[in-house]
Amino acid sequence: MEDLRQHLAAVEDLHAASELLGWDQNTMMPPRGGAARAESLATLGRVTHELFVSDETSRLLEAAEQALGDADAGSDDASLLRVTRRHLDKARRVPSRLQAERARAASVGQEAWVAAREHSDFSEFAPYLTRNLELAREYVDCFDGFDCAYDVLLDDFEPGARSRQVTTLFAELRDELVPLIAQLREHEGAVRDSCLHGSFEIGKQRALARGLVALMGYEPDSWRMDDAVHPFAAGIGGGDVRITSRWDPSFLGSGIYAAMHECGHGLYEAGVGDELRRTPLGHGESLGIHESQSRLWENMVGRGRPFCNVLAPRIGELFLGSPDGLDPDELYAAVNRVAPSLIRVEADEATYGLHVVLRFELEQELIEGRLAVADLPEAWNSRVQEYFGLRVPDDASGALQDVHWAAGLIGYFPTYALGNLIAGQLWARAHEDLADLDDHIAAGELAPLREWLRDRVHRHGAKFRTDELLSQVVGGPIAVAPFVDYLKAKLGAVYGTSL
Amino acid sequence: MEDLRQHLAAVEDLHAASELLGWDQNTMMPPRGGAARAESLATLGRVTHELFVSDETSRLLEAAEQALGDADAGSDDASLLRVTRRHLDKARRVPSRLQAERARAASVGQEAWVAAREHSDFSEFAPYLTRNLELAREYVDCFDGFDCAYDVLLDDFEPGARSRQVTTLFAELRDELVPLIAQLREHEGAVRDSCLHGSFEIGKQRALARGLVALMGYEPDSWRMDDAVHPFAAGIGGGDVRITSRWDPSFLGSGIYAAMHECGHGLYEAGVGDELRRTPLGHGESLGIHESQSRLWENMVGRGRPFCNVLAPRIGELFLGSPDGLDPDELYAAVNRVAPSLIRVEADEATYGLHVVLRFELEQELIEGRLAVADLPEAWNSRVQEYFGLRVPDDASGALQDVHWAAGLIGYFPTYALGNLIAGQLWARAHEDLADLDDHIAAGELAPLREWLRDRVHRHGAKFRTDELLSQVVGGPIAVAPFVDYLKAKLGAVYGTSL
């Protein structure tokens, strides 16, 4: 077991190096370093993959499996063997060459995406997306036993999830959201967010965000916060968690919430038990669980009424010259205003789900060849018209807005909406377990919630499957109702109507 | 040959990743990330080493050697095979385990050094130095055919150099410097550097330095400049060169020159021919050559009379409210003031060599066991008394001032003084080749010198040995006279006396 642990630790060390190279590429790297970085990431990915799928891993794993036997199924060791076996059986099906090409194409694709997005020209980016899709199909062909191509890709981000199940959950969600949004449209104008628009010096926004994430658990000794075109979080290793945000000098409602969102991811990475570090269990489990953490902190805490008691005076102090300058109720309404919009990461909680459904549909069509890459902007734009009633003015606000496909991440988007659903379940449960939760949050005391999450979710890392973990914490599988109930209660209060 | 090139490119890609991890550790990483970073660097070092010393490298190298035969000895291909053969024959003697342990000890050692230096407590750091020395001795034991242990270590930084040769050069240098410094001591007080002392806002110092390195050839698209405790430069890959500096708010003469120094290193990395990238020829050759570039830009350009015409008005403008606020002659004298001091990186050009001689002696004694680690501070302090007539008040200003031994770099220091000698040779030759060089520099036109260096030195990367390169460019081996002649001429002018 110890030999296996050491061997797997080396694999994790190389993963950490890749993670850092990726972080650097998106925050620090000079623009012309992209080509060399792509090569470095490709080689590092290939070498890591080769080390993991080596006969050595198989040999050590088999020996450890035999030594452990059926004893102690709930132990860390047993989980480690189960998870490693699952990863190894998957990884051994993928040739190193393909792994390296996907990494290289992802790196080059991100560079191309940054430029194409700047020029708002999808055609510049199309060849890179085509390449990523080709490689994704080659990847799919390495597997059997799945119902469809998309399931293979989805399984990498949400282990065990299947598109049939996601389709069902999303249908239920859509059937709740569409009438809800229609009903709110009748109250258009009842909620204004003018207090979020204006002139907000970026330095002050950064300082505000630093204060908020400090309440959440950001520690300067083991965290960093930087700027990035597309905000993300990275767990580099024990004692090294990095988050990013981006700042709009004329809108306050985006940068600080992106920072809280990424800090939610960061807390998950930071909270993994030390005994699981440098093992395959040492990071968050599925992306759905990961996203549940970020969305819970961003929306349920950050946009909740109690936290507005903390946030409003800080905004007032920084930007209006007085802590009383902004009414917490006005802030609460503003940050929860529902308005169909073009950009997913800036969408309100009610319409957010539809952004994900749109991408879930389009990427299924792309991977199955039912939609040509060249036709993507048109398909995107017409579906945005259909779902949101909005015209897409340019590709930067349309099919070029997200980095995921550029980075070869196909099958990733559903995890965002699943994360919202899981967050709804955890949020309801936290309120059952922590009687004074809202009072604590209103006083800026976020430690009780963080520690509850750490105990129930974070410390386990990838020890449990999503369904196992949810069963332990909330007593059942992913469900739509808690999220929708939460949303209706909040928006009903904000819009002063029964939903 | 193509297969070999691809294989070696992968090795270089991994080196680039290590280089980035090291850069990050010294600039960006949160303090508590050190332990995990040490593991990552150790594993990456081991994996890189294993890939390079693999049978695959031998097989591909032998095939390429046979295919090329004796043809075309001056070609890139022939150089590539020669250099790769030399590296491989050395590397195959070192077990991967030892390689990894040295990398880990170096990483952990640097973390310990930062803390010990902060507390100015050598005893905190002693166990880490002991460990680095043990591992260095183990490393030495992997080799035969060298006259002494120190030669093995020296050869890693200055390929082909031997301590006997260095001892001879350093004796000649010391015999020139000691009477020179004694003579200048009689003129103590003739030169003042009060214009460099005062209050200099760090933000403005950074801006000043950015302006200077921009003249040298720093390009924002492919370079970065950051702060670091111990300034360094890193060539991460094509289009990605990173330099660092540190800032003293009460002394202007250190940060900007550190920036020019590191930019000199960076220009060497940036100037390597594209056709040599991702090969073992794709970086600077010996550290002596590397240091010749940094010292040439820092001292011969940066502290030269012509460049003071560029620098003085910028300082005047930024800190004194007027471009005429500082007389270039006053600046010229101030930045060339000779005064024995404690800190190597802040030493003047005349005493600098003695700092290196001191370290050269002590590290020889340490590696040969003639000096115990615990006795190092005392030995250091008494030798500083002897050479400089100065008392060392604390370890931070003494044996803890440099990062090198913490990072396992033993045998590295001599290259600094060799760099000065080589810089003297190149500087003399550049003046022969470029008739209007001083006029260009006085006008802030540094491109002619940079292009001359790129053509003569940079573009060749590691294609030629130090002695081969010097023979091509200056017509002979490393020599002391040009540097000493340069120094006497400059200091004679500054001190108004004949030296």
Spatial separation of the C-alpha atoms in residues A228 and A25, rounded to whole Å? 10
Rounded to the nearest angstrom, the minimum Cα separation between A345 and chain B is 27
Query: Per residue in B395-407, pLDDT tens?
Result: 999 999 999 999 9
The beta strands (E) that lie in B150-190 are given as none
Task: Kindly give the pairing relationship between strand B240-245 and strand A223-227.
Answer: unpaired
List of chain A residues whose C-beta atoms are within 8 Å of the C-beta of residue B51 = 47
Q: Which of B14, B237, B240 sits opposite A47 (nearest CB)?
A: B14
Question: Would you state the pLDDT for residue A374?
Answer: 97
Residues of B with catalytic roles: 262
Token couple for B285: 């050759």
Token couple for A420: 């919202």
Q: Give the residue on B whose Cα is nearest the Cα of A6.
A: B43
Q: Give the residue on A whose Cα is nearest the Cα of B12.
A: A40
Tell me which of B8, B41, B240, B243 to substitute to probe the interface with A (most A C-beta atoms closer than 10 Å): B240
Does any CB of chain A come closer than 8 Å to the CB of residue B39?
A: yes
Query: Per residue in B244-295, pLDDT tens?
Result: 999 999 999 999 999 999 999 999 999 999 999 999 999 988 999 999 999 9
Computed over every residue of chain A, the mean pLDDT equals 95
List of chain B residues whose C-beta atoms are within 8 Å of the C-beta of residue A46 = 10
List of chain A residues whose C-beta atoms are within 8 Å of the C-beta of residue B21 = 17, 20
Spatial separation of the C-alpha atoms in residues A437 and A430, rounded to whole Å? 8
State the burial class of residue A35 (Cβ atoms within 10 Å of its Cβ: 0-12, 13-18, 19+). Answer: middle
Comparing A173-187, B24-38, B416-430, the range with the smallest average pLDDT is A173-187
* Parts of chain A with a pLDDT under 50: none
> Cβ separation of B33 and A240 shorter than 8 Å?
yes
Q: Which of B39, B237, B241 sits opposite A37 (nearest CB)?
A: B237
**Which residues in chain A (339-378) have CB-CB distances under 8 A to chain B?**
none
CA quadruple B421, B427, B429, B432: dihedral sign: negative
- ipTM, interface predicted TM-score of the complex: 0.91
User: Looking at this protein, which amino acid is placed at residue A200?
Assistant: F
Question: Would you state the pLDDT for residue B230?
Answer: 85
Tell me which of A6, A7, A13 to substitute to probe the interface with B (most B C-beta atoms closer than 10 Å): A13
Does any CB of chain A come closer than 8 Å to the CB of residue B108?
A: no
Question: Would you state the pLDDT for residue A238?
Answer: 87
User: Looking at this protein, which amino acid is placed at residue B69?
Assistant: G
Write the DSSP symbol of residue B297.
I
Question: Would you state the pLDDT for residue A226?
Answer: 98
Q: Give the residue on A whose Cα is nearest the Cα of B48.
A: A47
Query: Per residue in A292-338, pLDDT tens?
Result: 999 999 999 999 999 999 999 999 999 999 999 999 999 999 999 99
State the burial class of residue A248 (Cβ atoms within 10 Å of its Cβ: 0-12, 13-18, 19+). Answer: middle
Q: Which of A40, A221, A241 sits opposite B13 (nearest CB)?
A: A40
Does any CB of chain B come closer than 8 Å to the CB of residue A214?
A: no
The angle subtended at Cα A262 by Cα A326 and Cα A438, nearest 5°, is 50
Tell me which of A7, A15, A27, A40 to substitute to probe the interface with B (most B C-beta atoms closer than 10 Å): A40
What is the pTM assigned to this prediction? 0.92
List of chain B residues whose C-beta atoms are within 8 Å of the C-beta of residue A35 = 238-239
Answer yes or no: is pLDDT of B185 > 90. no
Question: Would you state the pLDDT for residue A21?
Answer: 97
Question: Would you state the pLDDT for residue A230?
Answer: 85
Residue B137, phi-psi category: left (phi > 0), alpha (psi -120 to 50), beta (remainder): alpha
Tell me which of B5, B8, B28, B279 to substitute to probe the interface with A (most A C-beta atoms closer than 10 Å): B28
Answer yes or no: is pLDDT of B488 > 90. yes
Out of A158, A262, A269, A363, pick the active-site residue.
Answer: A262
Mean pLDDT of B301-306: 98
Spatial separation of the C-alpha atoms in residues A13 and B436, rounded to whole Å? 53
Mean pLDDT of B44-65: 95
Mean pLDDT of B484-493: 97
Nearest to B153 by CA among B370, B409, B478: B409
CA B127 to chain centre: 26
Rounded to the nearest angstrom, the minimum Cα separation between B266 and chain A is 14
Question: Would you state the pLDDT for residue B71?
Answer: 74
Q: Give the residue on B whose Cα is nearest the Cα of A40.
A: B13
Question: Would you state the pLDDT for residue B495?
Answer: 96
List of chain B residues whose C-beta atoms are within 8 Å of the C-beta of residue A234 = none
Computed over every residue of chain B, the mean pLDDT equals 95
> Cβ separation of B221 and A31 shorter than 8 Å?
yes
Rounded to the nearest angstrom, the minimum Cα separation between A455 and chain B is 22
> Cβ separation of B239 and A42 shorter than 8 Å?
no
Q: Which of A30, A238, A277 sits opposite B240 (nearest CB)?
A: A30
List all residues 6 or more positions away from A170 whose beta carbon is below 8 Å from its beta carbon.
Answer: A353, A356, A357, A360, A414, A417
> Cβ separation of B32 and A236 shorter than 8 Å?
no
List of chain B residues whose C-beta atoms are within 8 Å of the C-beta of residue A42 = 13
Q: Which of B14, B220, B237 sits opposite A36 (nearest CB)?
A: B237
